[in-house]
Each structure stands twice: as C-alpha cells, then as structure tokens.
C-alpha cells in the first residue's frame, strides 16, 4: 500500500506499507490454529491483494470514520457483510475462494491500529506518515510482539464492531503522542532522531501489536463461526513483569564508645 495522507472524501485510505502489512499478517498467523494458519500462508498474496481492493463505498466510509474516531453502524455493517460471505463460502467447502476474502477484514483491523489515520479531522501530512512508517520499519526487529487483548481471540463475529471501536479509541490517543514527537509545532522531525527509548517507539510498538491482535481476532471469529478446525492452537507465553530486587540497605558503621575517649 502506498504511503499517503488520509482524506475525508471518497479517496482510498492508504496505510501500512506492503512490507509492514505482510509482517502484521504473518505475526497474526502465529495466533491461529495450525489448519487456518496453513491456509492463509498458502494464499497470502491473494489476501494482501484483497486488502487493497475495498469497495469505493467502504473506502469512503472507512476514511470518514477513522478521521472522526468512531466506526459508524453503516461501516461495520459493510465489513460484516463481507465476513458473512466469507463464512458462507467456508461452510460450503469453497475454501480457496473464501480465504482471500480475509484480506478485507484484515485491512479494517490493521487500519484501526494505525495512528497516522486517526489523528482527527486534520489529515496527517504525508511527510509525517513517511517518517512514522520509516521509524516502524527500521525498528520492527526490536519490537516485542505481544497479545494486546487476550479476550479478543475468543470474540464472535457480532462482537468485532465494538472491539474495533475500543481499539480505535486507544489508537486515537496514540496519534496525539505520535504527532507531538514527529510534528512538533508543525515541523517534521527526521525519524532517525529517535530510538527505542523514545515515546514514538512506544507508540509504534503498541500500534503494531494492536494490529496483529486485531487481525488474528477477526480471522478467528470468522473461522470459528464457519466451524473451522480449532485444534492445535498455539500456546501463548505469559510474561509477568518482575520488579528488580530492592538495593541492599547501606551499611552504617557506628564509632565505638572508645573512639570518643581522649
């Protein structure tokens, strides 16, 4: 997907350069049962192409909703209709036709996690988006991919809309931080001025994991409704933050009483 500014008209919403979208979908596969992950891997190219071919109606609705920070009922219904079609094909055994259609829901799930699309009524300038994507691409290997919301992997299709709205609200807050770092006072800052210790790294890390989780949640919801094979789910590693041990108490040396004697 080409990197460009978002618009509020019927122009396509552009986000997640193709290399990053590939990374998102591949990491999302790691959260799926083996059977579904294998099917998606075989038709990865078709899925990514489908993600770029939203209908003009859905493109326009999504662009307006992301800018406003809310998903309208009409937009959710348009995406849900695509999901219903996909489930229907899977239930009929038309797997090779159904799997590529997962691209559309992946696109929605990823876009609600993109802070360059949710900054408000004023579109993010293209040069700011370029710096953000460049930073994310160059630091992707340093980002720990985490499950942003474990409960999302148990969602039903009907619950995706409210789940996406909650993620969109969080991403909107991250957009403020992103702009404060890369566009302070209306001046673009080169992404090479930041490293993993910066707030922009935190934003990029959260956005990426949020996108991965949201894509996996959408795919699982449709697969589960189609009665797909849910065995051989990956085991997730629970990482519990550990506080470092307290530093040892300073040793106090008290003078002996004899030291005061003349």
Whole-number Cα distances in Å, 4 to 7, 106, 125, 128, 144: 9, 19, 8, 9, 27
Tokens 């919301």 map to which residue? 149
Q: Is residue 76 part of a domain?
A: yes
Q: Is residue 250 part of a domain?
A: no
CB 192 within 8 A of CB 1: no
Predicted pLDDT at 156: 95
Residue 255 clears pLDDT 70, i.e. is over it: no
CB 123 within 8 A of CB 5: yes
Q: Is residue 152 part of a domain?
A: yes
* Chain centre to alpha carbon of residue 131: 18
Q: Is residue 248 part of a domain?
A: no
Predicted pLDDT at 215: 97
Q: How confident is the model at residue 150 (pLDDT cuts 50, 70, 90)?
A: confident
Measured distance CA(28)–CA(242) in Å, rounded? 27
Q: Is residue 258 part of a domain?
A: no
Q: Which CATH number do you get for residue 85?
A: 1.10.575.10
How many domains does one find in the chain? 1
Measured distance CA(147)–CA(238) in Å, rounded? 10
Note the pTM of the prediction, 2 decimals.
Answer: 0.84
Q: Is residue 182 part of a domain?
A: yes
Report, as an integer, the average pLDDT of 22-38.
Answer: 96
Predicted pLDDT at 14: 54
Tokens of 14: 């552009």
Domain that holds residue 158: 18-235
Lowest mean pLDDT among 95-99, 138-142, 167-171, 244-248: 244-248
Residue 190 clears pLDDT 50, i.e. is over it: yes
Q: Is residue 249 part of a domain?
A: no
């Amino acid at each position: 997907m080409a990197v460009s500014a978002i618009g509020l008209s019927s122009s396509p919403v552009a986000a997640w350069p193709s290399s990053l979208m590939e990374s998102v979908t591949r990491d999302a596969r790691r959260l799926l049962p083996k059977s579904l992950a294998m099917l998606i891997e075989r038709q990865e190219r078709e899925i990514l192409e489908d993600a770029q071919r939203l209908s003009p109606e859905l493109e326009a609705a999504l662009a307006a909703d992301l800018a406003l920070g809310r998903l309208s009922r009409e937009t959710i219904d348009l995406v849900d209709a695509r999901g219903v079609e996909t489930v229907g094909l899977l239930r009929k055994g038309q797997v090779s036709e159904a799997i590529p259609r997962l691209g559309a829901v992946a696109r929605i799930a990823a876009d609600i996690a993109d802070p360059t699309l949710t900054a408000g009524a004023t579109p993010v300038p293209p040069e700011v988006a370029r710096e953000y994507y460049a930073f994310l691409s160059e630091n992707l290997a340093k980002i720990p991919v985490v499950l942003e919301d474990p409960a999302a992997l148990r969602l039903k299709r009907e619950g995706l809309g409210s789940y996406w709205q909650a993620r969109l609200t969080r991403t909107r807050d991250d957009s403020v931080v992103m702009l404060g770092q890369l566009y302070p006072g209306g001046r673009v800052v080169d992404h090479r001025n930041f490293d993993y210790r910066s707030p922009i790294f935190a934003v990029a890390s959260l956005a990426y994991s949020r996108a991965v989780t949201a894509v996996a949640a959408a795919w699982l919801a449709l697969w589960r409704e189609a009665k797909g094979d849910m065995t051989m789910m990956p085991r997730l590693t629970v990482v519990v933050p550990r506080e470092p041990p307290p530093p040892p108490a300073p040793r106090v040396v008290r003078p002996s009483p004899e030291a005061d004697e003349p």
